[in-house]
Amino acid sequence: MSAKTADRIATGVIISVAVFIVALLASLLGFILVRGIGHISFDFLTSAPQTIKAGGGIGPQLFNSLFLLVLTLMITVPLGIGAGIYMSEYAKPGRLTDFIRLIVEVLSSFPSIVVGLFGLLVIVNLFGLGFSLFSGALALTVFNLPLMVRITEQAIRGVPREQKEASLALGLSRWKTITSVMMPIALPTIVTGTVLASGRVFGEAAALLFTAGMTSPRLDFTNWNPFSPTSPLNPFRPAETLAVHIWKINSEGLAPDAAQIAAGASAVLVIVVLLFNFTARWFGRFLYKKLTASK
């Protein structure tokens, strides 16, 4: 076989692999949306699930997922940005910094089920928070924090050196330089990364099985007192999220329409994740234009 034929065959194989991957994603999304969208209705999205009867919805689960995401971001974002700034601006090169970097790497590769078990042991039992939204948010923080640190660190490092040096030369403190000069430039990247990470948090289930719990109490959506046990806003109630719900009805669902509910809920989950992906791109570009002088 001549070198040119081999080249053509190899090129053909590589292109067909690329086409195969695109087709794979198209068929996965197609399957989920075609199977699930027929089942999505206003009623499905807002009503409570049924254990043994058909016609249950995913209302509380959808609400729990969104609420949990908000709680998680409220804890993760300040911590992650702070730690990321430390890693990129304050950490001096040396043993200690290398060690911290190793720790972040290890933490980011821990399986999410191990994070969930840690949550069960420490947050749920030791701190006595029980199966609750707040425990779930803390477990997701552990799961999401290394990613936030890496996103922030890279974004801050991406700021042109001249801008930072000009600000320092004008006599601004390092912290002022970071908050007023570097953050506006880095923010679009941080926001894009955070929104993408939110998609990951939204679909996470393994870390939540033993922290946020697998049940959801009857919620009274007219009760907005965050201290009442039936209020949806109470962060100390158990909360089954959408992803956990999909897992549960697939493994132990008793309702006759469990397969359709799983399909509908999966479609909702995938649509939300897609929305996160598209808004991340669009919002990042929008912020960049808004905060910097570039067109």
Residue among 70, 90, 221, 285 that touches other proteins (CB under 8 A): 90
Q: How far apart are CA 164 and CA 181, in angstroms?
A: 7
33 binds other proteins (CB under 8 A): no
Query: Which residue from 44, 63, 67, 118 is in contact with other proteins, where contact means CB under 8 A?
Result: 118
Shortest gap between Cβ of 100 and other proteins (angstroms)?
6
Return the number of the residue (35 or 163) whose C-beta is nearest other proteins. 35
According to CB under 8 A, which residues from 222 to 261 bind other proteins? 243-244, 246-247, 250-251, 259
In angstroms, give the least distance from the CB of 193 to other proteins. Answer: 12
To other proteins, the closest distance from the beta carbon of 211 in angstroms equals 12
**Site for other proteins, residues 49 to 88, rule: CB under 8 A:** 78-83, 85-87
Residue 170 is given by DSSP the state T
How is residue 210 annotated by DSSP? T
Structure tokens given for 113: 């089920």
Shortest Å, Cβ 95 to other proteins: 14
The one-letter amino acid at 5 = T
Residues 144-203 binding other proteins (CB under 8 A) are 145-146, 149, 171-176, 178-179, 196, 199-200, 202-203
Among 205, 212, 219, 239, interactor with other proteins by CB under 8 A: 205
Phi-psi sector, 171: left (phi>0), alpha (psi -120 to 50), beta: left
Q: How many residues form the binding site for other proteins (CB under 8 A)? A: 92
Q: How is residue 231 annotated by DSSP? A: -
CB 182 within 8 Å of CB 259: no
C-beta neighbour count of 190 within 10 angstroms: 22
Q: How far is the CB of 179 from other proteins (least distance, A)?
A: 8
Reported as half-sphere exposure (CB side, CA atoms, 13 A), residue 148 has a value of 26
Q: Is 213 helix (H, G, I), strand (E, B) or coil?
A: coil
